[in-house]
Structure 1
């Protein structure tokens, strides 16, 4: 397996966006999450990064970060192909994005995940992210995305 930093417009990213759209739509209904941020925010010139994890010729996982503020990178679009889940690939992607953010001088990572994504919530808790919400509350009652942060 290998990591490749690329751009969101890379045709190899199409499965990522297709599956993310499916996940968001089936869990939350029609939404604008994937169109909420211009692709340029995930490119190096704007302080971002877009990563794909390949197994041979196939992109099987990926993710991105964008500049949140001068010290903070915001993780977005963390994804593992549906045929490759439960193998720890999401954690590999998060770890690599954290390393890249630190290399670029960021000292903090921020992210949000939806209340209907318990797999993501568990991933971020296991990866050492500090929840910025009451973890004992029913996520559906918290009124929106679940925010996390981590110092690098």
Structure 2
């Protein structure tokens, strides 16, 4: 069993990058492979590329959106993005940790950074979805205060898209 390097927050760099930046590509490429391996028989091979290209890159640009990349020693190891869902709500997308760096707490770092930036950009709520074959994501969102918008006791395969919401600190929602 491989031993994971403990997370040293001081060694991490958070970058806000455009979608076309070459430092983003390795994570998106690995994400496409992961989606196909988990969901190819459910949604069809190639559905991952379709999902990853569903939204124009401009939707992940400021001020309404952002793409954050976490680097360690110059290597892109985790990231995530958000886009405008509605006037008060950011939709988180593409939250990802490179397979060699999982189980180190990086997804929580990504969530924290995305939430911080979304709040700074004026959002008061987060909406996100994950797939039925990503139990680690489901458990992460439940453990970090996200409210499931589905029956958590139902078979995830019957739900298809597991939606979550979370209110951000700030002035009350109108």
Tell me the secondary structure at the aligned position of residue 110 of structure 2.
helix
Q: Which runs of 5+ in 2 are unaligned?
A: 1-11, 169-174
Q: Which of 52, 56, 65 is residue 34 of structure 1 equivalent to? A: 52
Structure 1 partner of 2:4: none
- Please tell me the root mean square deviation across aligned C-alpha atoms, in Å: 0.7
130, 137, 141: which one pairs with 1:120?
Answer: 137
What is the match of residue 92 of structure 1? 109
Matches within 5 A, 1:2-151: 2-29=13-40, 30=45, 31=47, 32-45=50-63, 47-142=64-159, 144-151=160-167
What TM-score results when the alignment is normalised by the length of structure 1? 0.97
CA-CA distance at 1:141 after TM superposition: 1.6
CA shift at 1:127, angstroms?
1.0
Say which SS state the counterpart of residue 112 (structure 2) adopts. Answer: helix
Structure 1: gaps of 5 or more residues: none
When the two structures are superposed, what TM-score results if normalisation uses the length of structure 2? 0.85
Task: Report the number of matched residues.
Answer: 150
Deviation for aligned residue 1:108: 0.1
Distance in structure 1 (CA, Å) of the matches to 2:70 and 2:34: 19
Deviations along 1:32-51, whole A, 9 cap, x unmatched? 21011111100004x00000
Q: Which 4+ stretches in 1 moved above 4 angstroms? A: none
3-state SS in 1 of match to 2:157: helix
- Aligned position for 2:3: none
**Alpha-carbon distance between aligned partners in 1 of 2:55 and 2:13, rounded to the nearest angstrom:** 26
Larger Cα-atom Rg: 2
Q: Residues 11-58 of structure 1, C-alpha deviation per residue, up to 9 Å, x if partnerless?
A: 00111111110111001112121011111100004x000000010110
